[in-house]
């Protein structure tokens, strides 16, 4: 009797433990509907979303019910904002949005495509992968979107970036970012914005002394280390060699060893030489903390080159407040290529064509929806229908204005590269920042990857 | 059907069902085949019974081990889209690209250093702690790191190696001793050694526990006889303990070598393959997910398989010898 009851007791323990372990493990792996959806009213200041009569665009909500699963790279407060943005849609259609955040979109979606378990809508890592997945038949075309209306409400060239090679719309932009902004601490720089790169370097070099340098640069970022340097190079190439060279470079038709590209790297190298902390600091400091010396007393540097979203990091990492910092756009390098703006954005695509997914896509494109997140801060909308006075702080307003008035707008080049090229580009930046004398071998290695990545 | 699907969606219910159902199905299967086999006469039942008993395990291995291996090997000879055979092109790519060769070199360093350090330190601790009273306390402490996941270990040590002395323990020590902070993770080739040290921290407990068990299996009479004869501790260790422990050491060493070839998590979390720390396992991941080149990823997997074969060979021979002794 004793032996048998111990055996049963053991079995019961195993069952209960296993049950607890499985129940407690989060819904990992491929996007499972009903996974860790954050509370939809997370910390919102209660301001009713612009649904009071849906003034303005008058989006037509139809009663749909059901649900739509969404996977994106937003978490924390960004996730809360996204959920606030879709709340009016949920209320209007009676459908539920099941959102899961993921830091490794390309791995999760590649595995999802192979296994057939995919969310209805998903954030896409970039136009390059978007086209690959469309070519595999995983992403569905968004034929139900009025392309002309979409294209005319966004800056020139923006809407076209979501098109496949056959002209169909596959991806839409939900969130935009302006890149190539030069931030400074208002206490340390009071001159007007320099008009050219040469003016900037001579004025800045004249101002700094002792340990203080002109730039604060940090390229560390885990799996994507090196990306801040790629933004630098894109800005330089666009302004130094012009949009045609930039476009050829994006398509893989401009060699990395060509004089135009090499010159851009050398210009970047000059900035690196004049950076706080030297190569080891640059290579080991996370991009979010890189600008901290700019707010120190005495300051470690004058300028920090980044995209518009960095303001959140100034406040959280460096303890700066609104009004401590300001920015001006990256100045012209070559007078014939003026008014250039580089930017990025979060693309969304549809894997499963359902009525709920279609309706949500159309909602996300409206100025009304975008305005919700704009008002919460940390978000630039590509939609010109969002009035500028809705932006909660001066720098977002300025950035949005720059985006909407750009003469020559170009989307971030590295996001458009094929995956392998992008990866090699990031690594090249890290190697170059560590040791500039290796430039020639770095560039010829990039050429090898280019021939391979664009060819296959 | 919908009701069952709804029920399964609840995870607790699903867990209980699985934990109960799987053993129940297995037991039911065994009962069933016993009933069938006992009907068949003595001659047949003796021959068929072992195969029927092994059938579930063989099926499992076949589906989850044999089939993927064969499919991967075939895939490694195909192009990116998988619709044409391109012979050895993927392998040529592997052996002619700079970055993959660096990964190969790094794995070689791992294969040499990791087992050496793990077995060496594990053996040292096992021998030293053998005759001390607080033996189980020390062994528990040394064994603890094995209980955490590789990713967690990577995160912990990434913080330990941090360049900022206010965050990184190592650099805090260096600074307190009057030196300048060292960039442990971004200075090649030192960074490879630092990554290997994380692996050593994780696996020493494993080696120590197994070697300690082997140590205790050596008869004390043998050791005492040697000491009575005038041998000092070092002589005892070299001439008696080591030879008798040789099979155990071989088993531990081959396990660690296999891990060194497979290493991925530590590199992924700590340096992401930058600064010349790339390894083969990580390249396979990158080729498949970032570069969408399944043919090449398969080729990397096959190279890894070929590298492991000699190690498995040694292991199996050792196992056969032990069986023969029994």
ipTM value for the complex: 0.71
Instruction: Please list every residue in chain B whose beta carbon sits closer than 8 Å to the beta carbon of residue A278.
Output: none
Indicate whether B142 and B49 sit together in one domain.
no
Instruction: Please list every residue in chain A whose beta carbon sits closer than 8 Å to the beta carbon of residue B20.
Output: 15
Indicate yes or no: CB of A132 within 8 angstroms of CB of B186.
no
Residue A122 pairs in a beta bridge with A71, A349
pLDDT tens digits, residue range B226-246? Answer: 889 888 888 888 888 888 898
Residue B226 resides in a domain: yes
| CA-based max dimension of chain B | 84
Phi then psi for A347, rounded to 5 degrees?
Answer: -85, 145
Indicate whether B138 and B226 sit together in one domain.
yes
pLDDT tens digits, residue range A3-36? Answer: 555 666 666 566 556 555 544 443 333 333 333 3
Residue B139 resides in a domain: yes
Indicate yes or no: CB of B15 within 8 angstroms of CB of A23.
yes
* Mean pLDDT, residues A172-178 taken together: 85
A208 pLDDT more than 60: yes
How far apart (Å, rounded) are the C-alpha atoms in residues A216 and A282?
A: 8
Residue B84 resides in a domain: no
Residue B267 resides in a domain: yes
* Mean pLDDT, residues B47-51 taken together: 85
The partner residue sitting opposite A132, judged by closest CB among B19, B289, B292, is B292
User: For B183, which residue in chain A has the nearest alpha carbon?
Assistant: A280
Sign of the CA dihedral with B45 first, then B50, B51, and B55 last: positive
- DSSP-assigned letter for residue A298: S
Indicate whether B112 and B32 sit together in one domain.
no
Q: Coil, strand or helix: which one is A183?
A: strand
Which residue stretches of A32-146 are H helix? 76-93, 105-115, 127-135
Indicate yes or no: CB of A419 within 8 angstroms of CB of B186.
no
Indicate yes or no: CB of B286 within 8 angstroms of CB of A423.
yes
> What rounded mean pLDDT belongs to chain A?
83
Q: A22 touching B, CB under 8 A?
A: yes
How far apart (Å, rounded) are the C-alpha atoms in residues B62 and B318?
A: 25
Indicate whether B170 and B299 sit together in one domain.
yes
Looking at the structure of chain B, the number of domains it has is: 2
Residue A185 pairs in a beta bridge with A325
How far apart (Å, rounded) are the C-alpha atoms in residues A191 and B205?
A: 62
Indicate whether B173 and B112 sit together in one domain.
yes
Q: Coil, strand or helix: which one is A327?
A: strand
Residues of B with CB under 8 A from a CB of A: 9, 11-12, 14-16, 18-20, 80, 97-98, 163, 183, 185-186, 268, 272, 274-275, 285-286, 288-293
How far apart (Å, rounded) are the C-alpha atoms in residues A248 and B17?
A: 58
A309 pLDDT more than 90: no
> How much is the pLDDT for A8?
64
Query: What band does B2 get if pLDDT is binned at 50, 70 and 90?
Result: low
> Tokens representing A279?
């190569």
Residue B44 resides in a domain: yes
> How much is the pLDDT for A176?
85
Phi-psi region of A124 (alpha: psi -120 to 50; beta: other; left: phi over 0): beta
Indicate whether B264 and B131 sit together in one domain.
yes
Indicate whether B152 and B239 sit together in one domain.
yes
Q: A32 touching B, CB under 8 A?
A: no
> How much is the pLDDT for A20?
55
Beta A96-101 vs A67-72: how paired, if at all? parallel
How far apart (Å, rounded) are the C-alpha atoms in residues A166 and A150?
A: 18
**Helix axis angle, B169-176 to B150-160, nearest 10°:** 30
pLDDT tens digits, residue range B145-197? Answer: 999 999 999 999 999 998 888 888 999 999 999 888 888 888 878 899 999 99
Indicate whether B263 and B114 sit together in one domain.
yes
Question: Do A226 and A430 contact (CB within 8 A), yes or no?
Answer: yes
How far apart (Å, rounded) are the C-alpha atoms in residues B164 and A281?
A: 10
Indicate whether B206 and B304 sit together in one domain.
yes
Indicate yes or no: CB of A434 within 8 angstroms of CB of B186.
yes
Burial of A240 (0-12, 13-18, 19+ CB in 10 A): buried
How far apart (Å, rounded) are the C-alpha atoms in residues B21 and B84?
A: 43
Indicate whether B174 and B37 sit together in one domain.
no
**H or E stretch including A148?**
helix A147-152
Q: Which of B274, B287, B288, B295 is most worth mutating to test chain A (most A CB atoms within 10 A of its CB)? A: B274
* Mean pLDDT, residues A45-58 taken together: 39
Indicate yes or no: CB of A110 within 8 angstroms of CB of B288.
yes
Query: What band does A117 get if pLDDT is binned at 50, 70 and 90?
Result: confident
pLDDT tens digits, residue range A355-364? Answer: 999 999 999 9
Indicate whether B149 and B195 sit together in one domain.
yes
Residue B80 resides in a domain: no
Q: A107 touching B, CB under 8 A?
A: yes
Question: Do B300 and B288 contact (CB within 8 A), yes or no?
Answer: no
Question: Do B309 and A438 contact (CB within 8 A), yes or no?
Answer: no
Residue B91 resides in a domain: no
Instruction: Please list every residue in chain B whose beta carbon sits closer than 8 Å to the beta carbon of residue A21.
Output: 15
How far apart (Å, rounded) are the C-alpha atoms in residues A27 and A71?
A: 13
Q: Provide the domain limits for residue B44.
A: 2-75
Residue B85 resides in a domain: no
Q: Coil, strand or helix: which one is A301?
A: strand
> How much is the pLDDT for B238?
87
* Mean pLDDT, residues A133-150 taken together: 89
Kindly report the three-state secondary structure assignment for every residue of chain B: CHHHHHHHHCHHHHHHHHHHHHHHHHHHHHHHHHHHHHHCCHHHHHHHHHHHHHHHHHHHHHHHHHHHHHHHHHHCCECCCCCCECCCHHHHHHHHCHHHHHHHHHHHHHHHHHHHHHHHHHHHHHHHHCCCCCHHHHHHHHHHHHHCCHHHHHHHHHHHCCCCCCCCHHHHHHHHCCCCCCCCCCCCCHHHHHHHHHHHHHHHHHHHHHHHHHHHCCCHHHHHHHHHCCCCHHHHHHHHHHHHHHHHHHHHHHHHHHHHHHCCHHHHHHCCCCCCCCCHHHHHHHHHHHCCCHHHHHHHHHHHHHHHHHHHHHHHHHHHHHHHHC
How far apart (Å, rounded) are the C-alpha atoms in residues A292 and B29?
A: 66
Domain closes at, from B42, B75, B108: B75
Sequence-separated (6 or more) residues with CB below 8 Å from residue A150:
A159, A169, A172, A365
pTM: 0.75
- DSSP-assigned letter for residue A168: -
Q: A286 touching B, CB under 8 A?
A: no
Sequence-separated (6 or more) residues with CB below 8 Å from residue A139:
A124, A130, A133, A170, A171, A349, A350, A351
A376 pLDDT more than 90: no
**H or E stretch including A182?**
strand A181-185
Indicate whether B37 and B140 sit together in one domain.
no
């Amino acid at each position: 009797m004793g032996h048998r009851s111990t055996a049963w007791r053991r079995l019961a323990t195993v069952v209960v433990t296993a049950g607890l372990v499985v129940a407690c493990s989060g819904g990992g792996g491929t996007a499972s509907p009903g996974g860790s959806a954050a509370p939809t009213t997370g910390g919102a200041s209660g301001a009713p979303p612009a649904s009071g009569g849906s003034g303005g665009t008058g989006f037509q909500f139809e009663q749909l019910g059901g649900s739509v699963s969404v996977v994106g790279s937003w978490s924390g407060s960004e996730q809360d904002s996204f959920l606030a943005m879709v709340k009016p849609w949920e209320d209007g259609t009676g459908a539920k949005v099941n959102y899961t955040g993921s830091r490794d979109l390309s791995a999760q979606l590649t595995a999802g495509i192979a296994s057939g378990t995919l969310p209805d809508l998903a954030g896409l890592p970039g136009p390059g992968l978007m086209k690959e997945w469309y070519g595999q038949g995983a992403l569905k075309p968004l034929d139900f979107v009025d392309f002309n209306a979409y294209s005319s409400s966004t800056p020139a060239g923006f809407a076209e970036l979501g098109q496949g090679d056959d002209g169909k719309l596959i991806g839409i932009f939900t969130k935009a970012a302006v890149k190539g902004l030069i931030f400074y601490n208002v206490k340390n720089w009071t001159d007007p914005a320099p008009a050219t790169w040469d003016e900037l370097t001579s004025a800045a070099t004249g101002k700094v002394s002792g340990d203080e340098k002109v730039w604060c640069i940090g390229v560390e970022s885990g799996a994507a280390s090196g990306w801040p340097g790629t933004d630098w190079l894109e800005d330089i190439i666009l302004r130094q060699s012009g949009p045609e060279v930039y476009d050829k470079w994006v398509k893989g038709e401009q060699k990395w060893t060509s004089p135009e590209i090499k010159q851009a790297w050398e210009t970047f190298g000059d900035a690196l030489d004049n950076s706080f902390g030297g190569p080891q600091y640059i290579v080991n400091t996370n991009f979010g903390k890189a600008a901290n010396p700019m707010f120190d007393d005495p300051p470690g540097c004058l300028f920090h080159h980044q995209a518009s979203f960095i303001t959140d990091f100034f406040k959280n990492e460096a303890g700066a407040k609104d009004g401590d910092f300001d920015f001006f756009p990256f100045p012209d390098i070559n007078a014939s290529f003026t008014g250039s703006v580089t930017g990025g954005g979060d693309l969304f695509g549809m894997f499963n064509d359902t009525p709920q997914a279609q309706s949500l896509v159309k909602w996300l494109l409206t100025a009304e929806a975008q305005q919700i997140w704009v008002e919460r801060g940390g978000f630039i909308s590509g939609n010109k229908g969002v009035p500028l006075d809705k932006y909660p702080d001066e720098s977002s307003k300025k950035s949005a204005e720059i985006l909407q008035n750009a003469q020559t707008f170009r989307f971030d080049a590295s996001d458009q590269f094929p995956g392998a090229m992008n990866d090699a580009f990031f690594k090249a930046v890290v190697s170059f920042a560590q040791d500039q004398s290796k430039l020639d071998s770095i560039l010829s290695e990039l050429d090898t990857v280019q021939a391979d990545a664009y060819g296959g | 059907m919908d009701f069952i699907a709804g029920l399964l969606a609840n995870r607790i219910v699903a867990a209980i069902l699985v934990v109960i159902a799987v053993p129940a199905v297995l037991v039911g299967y065994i009962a069933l085949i016993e009933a069938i086999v006992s009907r068949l006469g003595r001659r047949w039942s003796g021959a068929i019974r072992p195969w029927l008993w092994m059938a579930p395990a063989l099926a499992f291995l076949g589906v989850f081990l044999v089939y993927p291996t064969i499919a991967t090997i075939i895939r490694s000879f195909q192009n990116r889209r998988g619709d044409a055979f391109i012979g050895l092109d993927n392998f040529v790519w592997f052996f002619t690209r700079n970055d993959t060769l660096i990964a190969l070199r790094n794995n070689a360093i791992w294969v040499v250093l990791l087992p050496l350090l793990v077995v060496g330190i594990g053996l040292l601790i096992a021998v030293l702690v053998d005759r001390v009273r607080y033996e189980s306390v020390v062994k528990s402490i040394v064994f603890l790191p094995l209980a955490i996941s590789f990713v967690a270990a990577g995160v912990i040590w990434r913080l330990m190696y941090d360049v900022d002395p206010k965050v990184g323990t190592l650099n805090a020590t260096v600074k307190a001793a009057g030196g300048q902070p060292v960039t442990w993770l971004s200075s090649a080739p030192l960074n490879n050694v630092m990554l290997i040290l994380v692996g050593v921290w994780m696996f020493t407990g494993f080696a120590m526990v197994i070697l300690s068990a082997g140590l205790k299996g050596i008869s004390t009479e043998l050791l005492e006889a040697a000491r009575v004869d005038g041998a000092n501790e070092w002589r005892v260790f070299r001439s008696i303990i080591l030879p008798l422990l040789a099979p155990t050491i071989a088993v531990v060493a081959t396990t660690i070598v296999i891990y060194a070839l497979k290493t991925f998590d530590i590199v992924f979390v700590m340096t992401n393959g930058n600064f010349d720390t790339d390894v083969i396992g990580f390249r396979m991941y990158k080729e498949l997910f970032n570069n969408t080149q399944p043919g090449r990823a398969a080729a990397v997997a096959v190279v890894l398989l070929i590298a492991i074969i000699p190690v498995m060979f040694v292991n199996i021979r050792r196992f056969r010898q032990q069986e023969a002794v029994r």
